[in-house]
Structure 1
Amino acid sequence: MKRQNPLLEELKKVLPEIAKNADKTEDLRKVPDENIEILKKVGLHKAFLPKAYGGYEISLPEFGDCIAALAGACCSTAWAFSLLCTHNHQIAMFPKQLQDEVWKENPDAMASSSIAPFGKYEETDGGIIFNGDMKWSSGCDHAQWAIVGFLRDNAEGAKDYCFAVIPESDYRIEDDWYSMAMKGSGTKTLNIKNAFVPEHRIQKAKDMMEGKSAGYGLYPDSKLFYSPYRPYFASGFAAMALGTAERMLEVYKEVTSNRVRAYTGAKVHAAIPAILRTGESTHQILAARAFLEKTWEEHAVYAEAHRYPDRYTLAHWRTNQAYAVKMCIEAVDRMFNAIGANNWLLDKEAQRIFRDCHMCGAHAYTDYDVCAQIIGREVMGLEPDPSLL
């Protein structure tokens, strides 16, 4: 049974305003301040915020539907804001001391991230000294904190993949986001130099995947925080691909319905190729939504039961969303290839949707070449390949 989603109903009321700002968002190369304020008034930033700080703690299916709808209006805004939201889920796995630092005085505070473990560090009393030019920090212009990745030596002589949480006072944003797609996501670089990070702001990624982090069990009545961080962190990528594909279907129908062949005057919408493309794309997008909804609902059921997934289940969660993105991109390509040369012009919505949907499939987590290997090895009973994230 479909979950009720009052947050989605409130969000739908402001989507026309977000859509009007889509060109401005691309021109600014970041999400406009007014978009952030609109979405905060709706309360979307509270989706994964603990109730202890005034959050909603909505389920992943509810959140996925919201992000898909937002992406249909402006995918750049959805990309940045989705990550700002999902980072709350990750921060809730840190110690209470860190959570109080982030949210006690400002429950609207948000964090961007650069989680690839490229940061450099030195051990010091009570924590580490962190340095790095941390790239790909979407939405950082609107964040008060940053979650950054690094590899830390452990007592066994190996390295632990870790996250450090750093306040905005300890980094500088480098305005270097010039991209072909997702132009307005503001995915810039954080320049961090000699930032002291105390131990309570550091957690191991592995612990966050296995219910062993310092924040585990802080909210015993929660139906959200008994779950691994990574599927929630990555949930928006597939939701955005779905939202852009659903919007492309609407645009394609509208454009094609009014289109005539330039040299013959023939109407396009009743032609067999247009009908075939519409039909197959419709089925593919519906299949992607059904597949994602089933996967999201499974996430929610596990979280509500305070149950962590086994390796086989986690492999499916890890890879299902990438296959859904693949289907959405195929559907978008099928329609865009036949929508007409006029829609390559930069003032046309279709070309923006085409670019942004492809970007949804370019993230390391949605790389289907990687995901096909992960699920293939799991189904064949082989050990996981550590070179595959």
Structure 2
Amino acid sequence: MQNTLLMAVEFYKDNTGTDLPLCYTRAKESNTNNKSMLDRVKQVLPQIAANAEQAEKLRHVPDENIALLKKIGLHRAFQPKVYGGLEMSLPEFADCIVTLAGACAGTAWAFSLLCTHSHQIAMFGHQIQDEIWLNNPDATASSSIAPFGKVVEVDGGIILNGEYGWSSGCDHAEYAIVGFNRFDDQGNKIYSFGIVPRQDYEIVDNWFAQAIKSSGSKQLKLVDVFIPEYRISKAKDMMEGKSAGADLYPDSKIFHTPYRPYFASGFAAVSLGVAERMVEAFKDKQRNRVRAYTGASVGLATPALMRIAESTHQVAAARALLEKTWQDHKLHGEQHHYPNAETLAFWRTNQAYAVKMCIEAVDRLMAGAGATSFLDNSELQRLFRDSHMTGAHAYTDYDVCAQILGRAVMGMEADPTMV
């Protein structure tokens, strides 16, 4: 750790001509605890699970949940070490989100994105990174990256107007990453991202959903917002190691990677966590279940045993597929090796197929769990709803992903309409 800090001091002096800010020394403090991050998550899990019902009523992550997760340092998972971050491996991080999702899927969904956006920010130039993390080392960003906004090119940047939906965790973020299209001299689209501070946009409370309720995935409204060039990056550059921050952390094991797999890692992790919890909740319910009209024991009857057996296998298969994929992400990053198009297609579609398996496993159990499982106070119905929402994201839509992988394995060009 001492060597890392010395390198950080030398790096900062070389690039800015000044001494390293005091907050960088927090990296030493944040790494002195030998307890794994997963163990720390498990410690706060009971409180987060106890807040799950209230979180749904709030329609955003409770402040207590955010405070608990920041106290254990999970928000620093993908923050550069020179700012006090942890630079965790993707498998380690994903396992934390899986575990968290079993307690509250909305909290896991929103918080995972607040974490992974730090990985994306680290690919911007040092000026915006300093602006964010020197002022507040605990700062995070939400996002809305579909290019909804209208861009006007001006000297030194752009003026952006637009209404950006689905910004999970925005109530707890100090910044937002938004997507938009610029155009080159030939009229070609350049899909880009811009980082916007909280004071430059309005949060519109329009998050009224039937699942993942506590994610607080509200709308961001931008009116005549100026975004300077140093806060802008091309998406393509972030996928190919050509962004302004590409060479800032030469010894890092996580930043020599495309941004998108890290950004999207939480979606399947949440789905897996929900499915694993559904298996446990179903077993707990079935052990003493009797049929109301006859008094016959049905919880441990053959049909119930067959359902739990197949869903257990299916969820285990989903975990195995995801763990292999996350490990592949990790190895590519450690080797500073960017994946080819076919590998990227597998990474993208493996996630969606795992989500598909998790939803099927949950559905099988819910179909045999009895009418009381649909009552509002039943954990099973919440898990059922949340599970289906994990497959509704554009990145986990298997109808799209099957076409993407089919084209890749047959050696066809990627379809630009499928992202």
Q: Give the TM-score category using the shorter length.
A: over 0.9
Instruction: State the match for 1:366 in structure 2.
Output: 396
Query: Which residue is equivalent to 2:199?
Result: 169
Kindly state the Cα deviation for residue 266 of structure 1 after the two structures are TM-superposed: 1.0
TM-score normalised to structure 2 length? 0.91
Kindly indicate whether the alpha-carbon contact (under 8 Å) linking 2:286 and 2:300 is maintained by their aligned counterparts in 1.
Answer: no
Are 2:160 and 2:224, in contact at CA under 8 Å, matched by a contact in 1? yes
Paired residues of 2:373 and 2:381 also in contact (CA < 8 A)? yes
Aligned to 2:112: 82
Residue number in structure 2 paired with 1:139: 169
AA paired with 1:149? Answer: G
Instruction: Tell me, in whole angstroms, the C-alpha distance in 2 between the residues paired with 1:191 and 1:223.
Output: 36
Equivalents in 2 of 1:120, 1:38: separation in Å?
38
Match of residue 68 from structure 2: 38
Match of 1:189 in 2: 219
Q: For the residues of structure 2 that align with 1:154 and 1:358, how far apart are their CA atoms? A: 40
State the 1:153 CA deviation: 0.7
Give me the whole-angstrom Cα distance separating, in 1, the residues matched to 2:150 and 2:178.
Answer: 10
How far apart, in 2, do the equivalents of 1:127 and 1:190 lie? Answer: 20
Name stretches of at least 5 consecutive residues in structure 2 with no aligned partner.
1-33
Q: Which moved more, 1:194-203 or 1:153-162?
A: 153-162
**Is 1:53 matched with 2:80?**
no
Give the SS at the match of 2:145: strand
Deviation at 1:5, TM superposition (A): 7.9
What is the CA–CA distance in structure 1 between the aligned matches of 2:38 and 2:300, rounded to whole Å? 35
| Conservation of the 8 A alpha-carbon contact between 1:59 and 1:224 | yes
Note the residue ranges of structure 1 that are not aligned, 5 or more in a row: none
Matches within 5 A, 1:17-28: 17-28=47-58
Counterpart check, 1:117 vs 2:154: no
Q: Distance in 2 between matches of 1:116 and 1:177?
A: 17
Alpha-carbon separation, structure 1, partners of 2:165 and 2:35: 34
Alignment equivalent of 2:286, drawn from 256, 268, 285 = 256
Q: In 1, Cα distance between the equivalents of 2:72 and 2:99?
A: 14
Rounded Cα–Cα distance in structure 1 between residues aligned with 2:393 and 2:216? 15
CA distance in 2, matches of 1:74, 1:297: 25
Among 220, 228, 237, which residue is 1:207 paired with?
A: 237
Kindly provide the CA deviation profile for residues 351-372 of structure 1, in whole angstroms up to 9, marking residues without a partner as x: 0000001100000000000000
Give 2:327's aligned amino acid: E
Q: Distance in 2 between matches of 1:218 and 1:119?
A: 30
* Map of 1:319 onto structure 2: 349
Q: RMSD over aligned Cα, in angstroms?
A: 0.9
Instruction: Name the SS for the 1:194 alignment partner.
Output: strand
Identical amino acids, percent of aligned pairs: 65
Pairing partner for 2:312 from 268, 282, 296: 282
Check whether the contact 2:45–2:103 (CA below 8 A) recurs between aligned residues.
Answer: yes
Runs of 4+ residues over 6 Å off in structure 1 = none
Alpha-carbon contact 1:114-1:149 (below 8 Å) kept: yes
Aligned 8 A contact 1:5 1:62 in 2: no
Q: In the alignment, residue 224 of structure 2 is paired with which amino acid?
A: N
2:336 and 2:329 map into 1 onto residues whose CA distance is: 11
User: Partner letter of residue 311 of structure 2?
Assistant: S
Aligned residues: 386
1:295-354 superposed Cα distances (whole Å, 9 cap, x missing partner): 000000000001100111111001100000000000000001110111111111100000
1:20 CA displacement? 0.1
CA distance in 2, matches of 1:285, 1:44: 25
Shift of 1:172: 0.6
The match for 1:245 is 275
Structure 2 distance, partners of 1:5, 1:358, is: 34
Match of 2:5 in 1: none
Deviation at 1:119, TM superposition (A): 1.1
* Aligned-partner SS, 1:117: coil
Deviation for aligned residue 1:268:
1.5
Is the CA contact 1:238–1:322 (under 8 Å) kept in the aligned structure 2?
yes
